[in-house]
Amino acid sequence: MNTQALESVVVRNAVRGSWLSVLDFLAPELERAISKPGKHIACPVHGGKDGFKLFRDADISGGGICNSCGAKPDGFSLLMWLRGWSFPDALTAVANVLGLSTNAADQKPVVIRKPVFTKSKSTTDDGRLKAILRTVWLESKSVHHPDAEPVRLYLQSRGLDGWLPNWPSIRFHSKMQYRNEDGKLIGHYPAMLALIEKGNEAITIHRTFLTPKGRKALVDSPKKMMPTPYNKLVVGSAIRLGNPGRVLCVTEGIETALAVIEATGMVTWPLISATMMSQFVIPAGVEKLMIWSDLDRSCAGSLAATKLAELAKAQGVEAVICEPKGPIPVNSKSVDWLDVLNQQGPNAFVRSCF
Ligand SMILES: [Zn+2]
């Protein structure tokens, strides 16, 4: 057995039964899941409302599952997914927390690497999922289609212009199936679909479930991503609303992006969640990134924007963070640029960021 395999066995045995405290240390964003394994929380990677949970035996296995991102059978794969670490990175980090690294050379700080593609465990399931994604997309219609009224009414209800450019990546589905977190079919709803892409690949589809009158559907998570095929990683991707030139604007949410587009006329891509924002793959040719971040009570938005700005600068891309001015109203968790558009109008964008 080589040194790494040996170390791996030692660390695996040592961490069994202590995963919750190790995760508490290495992944504090899982705090709510750690406090009650089995309880659903928002996915730490793709966001949403309640797609993620740690397994009930998480103290022993360290594993968890997101309904969109897939299952992470043990704590190592969970950390690799959350942090973009390789297996040796995760092993070293866990060993360090447990105080197991005696070799000074092993005490190296863990560096974040590009995520590694995982091989599909179940190609049949994967094939079925890809077919479902394709079918849903083929069944969808342009947002300008007469049937797509729920999307237009929804955007208006959020204070946006109901008229959207006919981007190929935003579509309407008249009867989108909604399943709860246990996979039980709840019903069919009109939905706004958004294609999530990275490089030259479609990764998955984001859905906003609506009522026929254009309100958010009364379901647990009206915004939900479809699952991601095993051989693809959602991290790094975006919803591409238009082709960027030299400058690209980014936001977390779709509606926030539409607010930036309405106020500035600039090409703006929603990156779906704070975690996804912090690991966005900046397309070639972009020389300046304008990050229209959310102002959150938790600071998640600001942290993600700062991380992305650092990532951009490291690649020679100029980065500007545009954060809404506070204070955050007492009864809300955050302020975003859609709130700014609704409360102060488009001029506030120019005053803040140009
Ligand atoms: Zn997820």
218 and 242 fall within a common domain: no
> Domain limits at 128?
123-230
Show which of 53, 78, 107 is a domain's final residue.
107
Pairing of strands 170-179, 185-198: antiparallel
Pairing of strands 318-322, 295-296: unpaired
Rounded CA-CA distance 156/163 in Å is 9
350 and 313 fall within a common domain: yes
Q: Is residue 212 a contact partner of residue 174, using CB atoms and an 8 Å limit?
A: no
DSSP letter for each residue of 271-300 = -SSHHHHHT--PPTT--EEEEE--EETT-H
22 and 88 fall within a common domain: yes
Residue 310 has φ and ψ, to the nearest 5°, of -65, -40
Rounded CA-CA distance 202/205 in Å is 8
Tell me whether residue 181 is in a domain. yes
pLDDT for 50: 87
Tell me whether residue 112 is in a domain. no
CA of 263 to the centre of ligand 1 (A): 31
CA of 48 to the centre of ligand 1 (A): 8
CA of 179 to the centre of ligand 1 (A): 16
Tell me whether residue 37 is in a domain. yes
76 and 145 fall within a common domain: no
316 and 248 fall within a common domain: yes
CA of 227 to the centre of ligand 1 (A): 8
> Residue 247: enclosing H or E segment and its boundaries?
strand 247-251
200 and 148 fall within a common domain: yes
Tell me whether residue 78 is in a domain. yes
Q: Tens digits of per-residue pLDDT, 67-113?
A: 888 889 999 999 999 988 889 999 999 988 888 765 544 444 444 33
Pairing of strands 268-270, 247-251: parallel
Q: Residue 86: which residues within 8 A CB-CB, separation 6 or more?
A: 80, 113, 116
CA of 100 to the centre of ligand 1 (A): 31
Q: Tens digits of per-residue pLDDT, 191-219?
A: 999 999 999 899 999 999 999 999 999 99
CA of 70 to the centre of ligand 1 (A): 7
Domain containing 273 — which CATH number?
3.40.1360.10
> Could you tell me which residue, 149 or 354, shows the higher pLDDT?
149
114 pLDDT above the threshold of 60 = no
CA of 65 to the centre of ligand 1 (A): 8
184 and 142 fall within a common domain: yes
Mean pLDDT, to the nearest integer, of 282-303? 94
CA of 277 to the centre of ligand 1 (A): 14
Show which of 78, 107, 136 is a domain's final residue.
107
Tokens of 285: 């040719």
303 and 212 fall within a common domain: no
Show which of 204, 230, 256 is a domain's final residue.
230
CA of 209 to the centre of ligand 1 (A): 18
148 and 245 fall within a common domain: no
Count CB-CB contacts under 10 A for residue 353: 18
> Residue 131: enclosing H or E segment and its boundaries?
helix 123-139
Q: Tens digits of per-residue pLDDT, 167-180?
A: 999 999 999 999 98
CA of 332 to the centre of ligand 1 (A): 24
CA of 181 to the centre of ligand 1 (A): 12
Mean pLDDT, to the nearest integer, of 232-257? 94
CA of 47 to the centre of ligand 1 (A): 6
121 pLDDT above the threshold of 70 = no
144 and 249 fall within a common domain: no
347 and 241 fall within a common domain: yes
CA of 343 to the centre of ligand 1 (A): 32
Tokens of 225: 């991503």
Count CB-CB contacts under 10 A for residue 333: 11
> Taking Cα atoms as reference points, which of 137, 189, 192, 136 lies closest to residue 164?
192
CA of 42 to the centre of ligand 1 (A): 8
Tell me whether residue 166 is in a domain. yes
Q: Is residue 59 a contact partner of residue 19, using CB atoms and an 8 Å limit?
A: yes
Tell me whether residue 113 is in a domain. no
Count structural domains, the chain. 3
